[in-house]
Structure 1
Amino acid sequence: MRGTEGERTGSAAFRPPAAARFRHPTQVIAGGFALAVAIGTGLLSLPAAAESGERTDLLDAVFTATSAVCVTGLVTVDTGSHWSTFGEIVILALVQAGGLGIMTLATLFAVLISRRLRLRAQLVVQTETKAPGRGDMRRMVRNIVLFGLCCEAVVAAVLTAVFLVRYDRPPGTALYAGVFHAISAFNNAGFSPYRDNLMSYVGDPWVCLPIAAAVIVGGLGFPVVFELARFWRRPRSWSVLTRLTVGLTVTLLVVGTVVITTAEYTNPETLGPLGEPEKWLAGFFASTVARTAGFNSIDISAMGSEGLLATDILMFIGGGSAGTAGGIKLTTFGLLAFVIWAEMRGNPSVRIGHRRVPEGNQRQALAVALLGVGAVVVSTFVLLGLTAHSLDRILFEAISAFATVGLSTGITADLPPAGRILLIVLMFAGRIGPLTLASALALRERGRRYELPEERIIVG
């Protein structure tokens, strides 16, 4: 008994405190996003944040704050009519912080104050930005923030001029609308101060195309954008990440535009009343925002089953890694496609271009995809039991939340409290990333000093 007690005392003496165990970069990122949601909830719960001057229901405040920080765009209350100007500015600040990354902004402030970065801070930024190597993290953080702000400024200037000239809005109103939509678009959030989102501008390319451009650029991912800026004239010098991201982005934009436009071409409640150019513009915009911005220029609730299914697929795939888009990411989808192709051809390794992809990357892609499928299936099953809505609408809502898209068939506000809480969890898990969230929950990594004998099993 004494020996046992001594062993317990000794193990307790050498057990690291809780603060020391909370060191993994993914844990810090998850904690940073949770803190931002908590701060946003507190601010949105203030009477000054609501147009009526009364406190917003706590669950609605938590839902909106999570949706903003996770750059999703799903709402349980109308953004333009429920929130005051102060509330909308809070939402915009949360979108900006969530889009650029809580840890990226925190590290930038640390650089400005101390002029140096510790190794742990560099690892946190590398995890958040998905940088392939440690390199100069300070320069990377600075480039990320400057690039994001410059893109938002350009789009805001264009939209402000459009609202001012084409729609004769007062200068202050035009500037506010331009800045709001520019920040929301680049960060792939989908929030809009208008009750019908962008449905009033369905046939206006001067509004839809700048927003679509911001969505695409923000969703490419920072490493891809920086590499394109350096080697845009030499495609052969592009990395595998850039080739996959650019190739799949173009492919999904074209295929998505054709499929959605064709599926909704004669629908009298979506594309039917529009002229030929407007139909293709609306189809292109719908294909763009499905990965994963959340704006809508047509009535999503009126789309047919084919259009909803096509949007489901685009939402689940999402955008580029290390960008503001959600979903399982283009690299995950593309890598799994090459894994299948290599297996069908009987190749012993997976090759993309003139590079061999390590097995660790393949396992990561498989884990992210399967965790995503599992999260969507389980949440869809639970929501079906909580509500009386049809399967296609519930599935659409679950994928939209997990992929941090923000598109909705209009059932978000009708969900019971348990359903809204489930969507909050989905949005948070989708923004952090299934694999990152799982790593954050693990208090420590376990090394294996031995391997078991190999045995093949029957597959299929």
Structure 2
Amino acid sequence: MSRAAGAFVKYPARVIVAGYLAVILFGTFLLSLPIATAGSGRATFVEALFTATSAACITGLVVVDTGSFWSPFGHWVIVGLFQLGGLGIMTVASLLGLLVARRMGMRMQLIAHTEQKNLRLGEISRVVAGVIRMSLLIEFITAIFLVTRYYIAYADSFGEAAYWGIFHAISAFNSAGFALQSDSMMQYVGDPLILFPVIIAFTLGAIGFPVIFEVSRHFRQQVREARGAEHTARHWTIHTKVTVLTHGVLGVIGIASVIMFEWANPSTMGPLSTLQKLMAGAVQGLTPRSSGFNAIETGEMNAATILITDVLMFIGGGSAGTAGGIKVTTFALLGFVILAELRGQPTVHVMGRKLADSVQRQALTVALLSIAAVMGGTIIISTFSEHALDHVLFEVISAFCTVGLSMGITEDLRPLAQLILVVLMFAGRIGPIILASALALQERPRRYELPEERPIVG
């Protein structure tokens, strides 16, 4: 094992924090250079730091317009930051899954080996290589579609089409939400050849590497069996089942909610044609899972749409993916806990398996601490801002859950409030992952139990 791998195994939290801080500080330095801006001046420290943090944490919030403020050099620095951020978060989350499994007892290791065949112990290099190959392949395919469409319909030259297509392909898969046009995807609301590749890319990025790996392996096995290979009984893991089901249900709810509440809104979807409304609803309903792109004016949405978007942003996407939030698995597991309690069942069962008590506590801890971070950030920023509370709350959730959607107030906030958003983006990107793994790694049995007493609940 290399020295870096050994350090990660021994001190995972320190390595992750140090790695992301190093990337952010280096990105801040590069974006502070005069060559990084399109004009004659240079970015301020807060502008460079905020942009670097937003890119490395694959958030998408901005304090300056990405397309016009930054030069081509600045654009490629931003691309490099969210590419490193996306690869990094998928890799470290997957490796932490390996590390948690490795430190279990022998009995639990056997169970983990049965339930998580896609994350075998001792295969660190294979996980890293798999993440890189998968990311580059999806980005390459997405770029082909986008470059072709830009060249046919929008760009003046193939070079310009390649520039725009590659930028947005990498941004989409990494759920970065950065766009070279100031209105994000609003001008493409009637162009499915732009929107659909973007939707597919950020959905694949948000659902998580373990799910994509397992589903692709299952598909390859079916192809081999169709060609005459011996049949091998394989079942999806609980993680994949829960992630795919919850991700799909929340996606349908998001799309349906946006279409229902914004269909007649004259400031958003009202003036659009029926086809444009459906496409805008698809983008706006799925983008809270962490992509940050918007197809309608987010600041003009109805109150009901804003609240639903808040909830979807807070939940986020799949584990070991580019999405933020508390993750759909955490949300779903808490739902199963509530369901079991309502039924009066002493244990929690999820799709034919018993859910360990420690996992229930971990999910509850991640959710409640995330709520505390969002509430704390909202209270602090509200004291430095004259914007409405719902707008500030939206911005804080978007930052902490690394989504990138904005009510349009980020660039108007005071520098101190922007720095608070920087802290929230950093904490929201690596905090839930480190917290969940730390809770699992530090689990130890009690040597004795105190007398039981039941307080009044409710």
Whether these two folds match at TM > 0.5 is: yes
Do the aligned partners of 1:33 and 1:69 also contact (CA within 8 Å) in 2?
Answer: yes
CA distance in 2, matches of 1:21, 1:218: 24
Moved more, 252-261 or 89-98: 252-261
- Which of 342, 345, 353 aligns to 1:344? It is 342
CA distance in 1, matches of 2:190, 2:339: 40
CA distance in 1, matches of 2:44, 2:360: 44
Q: Which amino acid aligns with 1:188?
A: S
Cross-structure match for 2:429: 431
Cross-structure match for 2:39: 52
Change (3 A) 1:355 1:121: closer
Q: How does 1:56-205 map to 2 (within 5 A)?
A: 56-101=43-88, 104=91, 123=99, 133-205=120-192
Change (3 A) 1:267 1:122: closer
Deviation, structure 1 residue 126: 9.0
Deviation, structure 1 residue 278: 1.1
Change (3 A) 1:103 1:321: closer
Q: How does 1:262-411 map to 2 (within 5 A)?
A: 262-411=260-409
Q: Which amino acid aligns with 1:412?
A: T
Cross-structure match for 2:420: 422
Cross-structure match for 1:7: none
SS at match of 1:101: helix
CA distance in 1, matches of 2:102, 2:211: 15
Do the aligned partners of 2:91 and 2:320 also contact (CA within 8 Å) in 1?
Answer: no
- What TM-score, normalized to structure 2? 0.87
SS at match of 1:347: coil
Cross-structure match for 2:218: 231
Cross-structure match for 2:246: 248
CA distance in 1, matches of 2:368, 2:302: 27
Q: Which amino acid aligns with 1:372?
A: S
SS at match of 1:54: coil
Deviation, structure 1 residue 446: 8.2
- Which of 188, 195, 208 aligns to 1:221? It is 208
Cross-structure match for 2:18: 31
CA distance in 2, matches of 1:446, 1:351: 23
Moved more, 95-104 or 206-215: 95-104
Change (3 A) 1:437 1:76: farther
Deviations 1:399-428 (A, max 9, x none): 000110000010001111111111011100
Cross-structure match for 1:113: none
Change (3 A) 1:388 1:161: same
* Superposition RMSD in Å: 2.9
CA distance in 2, matches of 1:449, 1:62: 48
Change (3 A) 1:273 1:236: farther
Change (3 A) 1:74 1:322: same
Do the aligned partners of 2:90 and 2:320 also contact (CA within 8 Å) in 1?
Answer: no
Do the aligned partners of 1:104 and 1:125 also contact (CA within 8 Å) in 2?
Answer: no
SS at match of 1:387: coil
Q: Using the aligned pairs only, state the percent identity.
A: 49
Long gaps (5+) in structure 1:
1-18, 108-118
Change (3 A) 1:296 1:125: farther
- What TM-score, normalized to structure 1? 0.87
SS at match of 1:237: coil
Cross-structure match for 2:108: none
Deviations 1:254-300 (A, max 9, x none): 11111111111111111001111211110011111111110111111
CA distance in 2, matches of 1:280, 1:304: 17
Q: Which amino acid aligns with 2:373?
A: A
SS at match of 1:290: helix
CA distance in 1, matches of 2:102, 2:77: 27
Change (3 A) 1:70 1:208: same
Change (3 A) 1:168 1:87: closer
Q: Which amino acid aligns with 2:338?
A: I
Q: Which amino acid aligns with 1:51?
A: A
Do the aligned partners of 1:271 and 1:282 also contact (CA within 8 Å) in 2?
Answer: yes
Do the aligned partners of 1:342 and 1:349 also contact (CA within 8 Å) in 2?
Answer: yes
Change (3 A) 1:35 1:446: farther
SS at match of 1:223: helix
Equivalent residues, number:
427
Do the aligned partners of 2:36 and 2:71 also contact (CA within 8 Å) in 1?
Answer: yes
